[in-house]
Amino acid sequence: MLVNEKKWYAIYTKPRWEKKVDTLLLKKGIDSWCPVQKIERQWSDRKKIIEEPLFKSYVFVHINESQRVEVLRTDGVLNFVHFLKKPAVISDDEILLIKRYLADEAAKISIISEEGFKENTKVKVNYGVFMDNTGVVMRGGKKKVYVQLQSLGQVMVVEFPAEYLIPQ
Q: Cα–Cα distance between 121 and 167 in angstroms, integer?
A: 7
| Mean pLDDT across 78-97 | 89
Task: Please report, for the domain that includes residue 76, its CATH number.
Answer: 3.30.70.940
Instruction: Find how far residue 130's CA is from the centre of its chain.
Output: 13
| Mean pLDDT across 108-129 | 56
Residue 134 falls within a domain, yes or no?
yes
- Predicted local distance difference test score (pLDDT) of residue 149: 45
| Mean pLDDT across 19-37 | 94
| Mean pLDDT across 24-49 | 87
Cβ proximity of 69 and 9 under 8 Å:
no
Report the predicted TM-score, pTM, of the whole model to 2 decimal places: 0.64
- Predicted local distance difference test score (pLDDT) of residue 83: 82
Task: Please report, for the domain that includes residue 149, its CATH number.
Answer: 2.30.30.30
What SS3 state is found at 20?
Answer: helix
Give, for 52, the enclosing helix (H) or strand (E): strand 47-53
Kindly tell me if the per-residue pLDDT of 151 is higher than 90.
no
Q: Give the count of domains, the chain.
A: 2
What SS3 state is found at 109?
Answer: coil
Q: Cα–Cα distance between 59 and 78 in angstroms, integer?
A: 11
- Predicted local distance difference test score (pLDDT) of residue 54: 81
The domain of 21 spans: 7-90
Kindly tell me if the per-residue pLDDT of 126 is higher than 70.
no
| Mean pLDDT across 15-30 | 96
Residues 161 and 124 both lie in one domain: yes
